[in-house]
């Protein structure tokens, strides 16, 4: 029996998500683990110790770090009690960064405990750092300092960088929401970046789809035609030699697991079906935009699969529409222009367009839930009558599916 909205409010399922942290080339360096405790709309923590302890429990025991972060580092928030209680030592020092929350006072006991953790090989990061003389002992121990760029002016950020560069540590700019902020911080010499700037268009007001991406947009438009036939898809694919080669290589990979080798696009289409072929060609077309960070495609595929899984949980017939809204929710980031303009070039149904632009209807509700989960906006993680545990499982499955399907599309 599906849960009602009221009963899901009382659910004690813990939700664990992730937010990427990038290097200067916008390659993923690590993920910060995000957490929400029991109570479907509980966004704030009464007990920070319990919050972090549950991250550790969920990440290490119930879910495992690998499904969430793969082989990358995991930043995990640490409170004073967890540091002093020696719970940090239960985490693998090779894969975690201990992120010291901004409200941790640099007492003698804290400094002693962090110094010992550093000697043991743990990486120490300071969260939401704003300079104060009292924090100098923490800075001397830290390996990474996270500077909140939304809390400081550009002049203040420059002052922080100048002061922090006295120490042998790395600088991480967090809450970087625009390309302008990213370029500003990169020019200042920040080593790492965290925020959603990569999902947003790098656009000049009034600009249209860049000329070098028009052909890809035209292909996406053709693929979205409802009555498109296999022969038409084959014709479109064959017009791009590189795409044809990549598609055949992918179809014949171990991931697809077809019973025999496929030698032509027509044969591939007959064996896997129009919908799956349409999906693969769409993904490969987006993946061909080499100037875009690969994580943008990761975000698109995670959203797409998670939306599809929630559509299934709601017993919807047209689950391909749910996949489409997730995948197309970042098209503005791929094409560097307003999402409304990109969608005007695609033959999408009004329901899909409205869901993407205005978050209306069931499609829009599901997309809003998925994006809220992705960004750790736990108050907004609610969807019709879906139990929070189903949403959590859909997220983990989406990460695993994205990793698997994209591994064959690189290069």
Task: Specify the CATH number for the domain of residue 190.
Answer: 3.20.20.450
- State the residue range of the domain holding 327: 211-407
Judgement on whether residues 48 and 192 belong to the same structural domain of the protein: yes
Has residue 215 been placed in a domain? yes
Instruction: Using DSSP, state whether 105 is helix, strand or coil.
Output: coil
Q: Residue 396 has which token pair?
A: 């983990």
Residue 305 CA to residue 314 CA, distance in Å, equals 14
Helix extents (H) in 21-165: 48-57, 65-69, 80-84, 108-119, 136-141, 154-164
Q: Is residue 206 part of a domain?
A: no
Return all residues near 155 (Cβ < 8 A) that are at least 6 apart: none
Q: 182 and 286: one domain? A: no
CB 170 within 8 A of CB 144: yes
The C-alpha atoms of residue 148 and residue 128 are separated, in whole angstroms, by: 5
Distance separating the N- and C-terminal Cα atoms of the chain: 45
Nearest-angstrom CA–CA distance, 88 and 110: 13
Question: What's 151's DSSP letter?
Answer: S
Six token digits for residue 408: 């064959």
- Structurally, how many domains does the chain consist of? 2
- Residues 131, 270, single domain; the answer is no
Q: Are residues 139 and 237 in the same domain?
A: no
**In sequence order, what are the residues at sequence separation of 6 or more whose Cβ sits closer than 8 angstroms to the Cβ of residue 132?**
none
Domain stops at, among 148, 171, 199: 199
pTM: 0.88
Question: In which band, very low, low, confident or very high, does the pLDDT at 382 lie, cut at 50, 70 and 90?
Answer: confident
End position of a domain, from candidates 199, 225, 248: 199
**Residue 64: inside a domain:** yes
In this predicted structure, the answer to whether residue 277 has a pLDDT above a threshold of 90 is no
Contact status, residue 28 vs residue 21, Cβ threshold 8 Å: yes
Q: What is the pLDDT of residue 363?
A: 96
Is 204 a domain residue? no
What DSSP assignment string belongs to 234-254?
Answer: HHHHHT-HHHHHHHHHHHTST
Domain boundary (154, 174, 199) is at 199
Claim to verify: residue 131 and residue 158 sit in the same structural domain: yes
Q: Are residues 317 and 348 in the same domain?
A: yes
**Which of 106-120, 181-195, 250-264, 332-346 shows the lowest per-residue confidence on average (mean pLDDT)?**
250-264
Same domain membership, residue 304 and residue 168? no
Tens digit of pLDDT for each residue in 81-104? Answer: 888 887 788 888 999 999 999 989
The pLDDT confidence band at residue 253, using thresholds 50, 70 and 90, is: confident
Whether residues 243 and 374 share a domain: the answer is yes
**Residue 205: inside a domain, yes or no?**
no
Same structural domain, 218 and 365 = yes
* CB burial string 320-349: b at 16+ within 10 A, e below: ebbbbbbbbbbbbbbbbbbbebbbebbebe
Same domain? For 63 and 89 the reply is: yes
* Residue 14 is assigned to a structural domain of this protein: yes
Give yes or no: residues 216 and 109 share one domain.
no
Residue 315 lies in a domain: yes
Label residue 301 by pLDDT band (50, 70, 90). very high
Whether residues 337 and 219 share a domain: the answer is yes
The mean predicted confidence, pLDDT, of the chain is 86
Q: Say which residue, 236 or 341, is predicted with more confidence.
A: 341
Q: Cβ(201)–Cβ(332) under 8 Å?
A: yes
Averaged pLDDT, 66-94? 88
Q: Does some domain include residue 305?
A: yes
- Domain of 330: which CATH number? 1.10.3210.10
Residue 5, pLDDT > 80, answer no
Parallel/antiparallel/unpaired status of strands 123-126 and 192-194 = unpaired
For residue 350, pLDDT beyond 80? yes
């Amino acid at each position: 029996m599906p849960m009602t909205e009221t009963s899901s409010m009382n659910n004690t399922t813990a939700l664990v998500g992730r937010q990427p942290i990038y290097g200067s080339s916008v390659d993923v360096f690590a993920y910060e683990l995000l957490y929400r405790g029991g109570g479907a709309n509980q966004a704030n923590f009464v007990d920070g110790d319990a919050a972090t302890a549950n991250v550790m429990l969920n990440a290490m025991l119930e879910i495992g770090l690998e499904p969430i972060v793969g082989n990358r580092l995991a930043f995990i928030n640490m409170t004073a009690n967890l540091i002093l209680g020696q719970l940090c030592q239960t985490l693998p020092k090779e894969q975690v960064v201990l992120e010291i929350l901004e409200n941790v006072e640099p007492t003698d006991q804290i400094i002693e405990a962090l110094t010992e953790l550093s000697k043991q090989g743990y990486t120490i990061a300071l969260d939401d750092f704003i300079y104060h003389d009292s924090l100098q002992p923490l800075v001397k121990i830290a390996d990474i300092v996270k500077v909140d760029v939304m809390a400081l002016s550009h002049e203040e950020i420059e002052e922080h960088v100048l002061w922090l560069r006295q120490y042998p540590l790395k600088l991480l700019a967090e809450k970087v929401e625009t390309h302008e902020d990213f370029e500003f911080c990169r020019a200042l010499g920040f080593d790492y970046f965290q925020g959603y700037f990569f999902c947003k268009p790098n656009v000049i007001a009034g600009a249209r789809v860049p000329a070098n991406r028009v052909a890809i947009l035209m292909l996406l438009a053709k693929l979205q035609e409802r009555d498109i036939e296999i022969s038409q898809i084959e014709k479109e694919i064959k017009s791009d030699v590189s795409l044809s080669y990549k598609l055949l290589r992918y179809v014949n990979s171990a991931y697809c697991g077809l019973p025999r080798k496929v030698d032509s696009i027509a044969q591939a289409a007959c064996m896997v079906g129009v919908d799956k072929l349409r999906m693969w060609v769409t993904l490969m077309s987006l993946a061909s935009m080499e100037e875009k960070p690969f994580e943008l495609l990761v975000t698109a595929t995670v959203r797409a699969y998670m939306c599809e899984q929630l559509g299934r949980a709601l017993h919807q017939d047209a689950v391909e529409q749910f996949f489409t809204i997730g995948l197309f929710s970042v098209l503005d980031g791929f094409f560097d222009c307003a999402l409304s303009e990109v969608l005007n070039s695609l033959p999408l149904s009004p329901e899909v367009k409205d869901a993407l632009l205005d978050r209306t209807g069931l499609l829009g509700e599901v997309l809003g839930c998925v994006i809220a989960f992705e960004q750790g906006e736990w108050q907004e993680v609610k969807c019709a009558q879906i139990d929070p545990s189903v949403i959590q499982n859909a997220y983990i499955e989406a990460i695993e599916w994205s990793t698997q399907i994209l591994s064959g599309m690189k290069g």
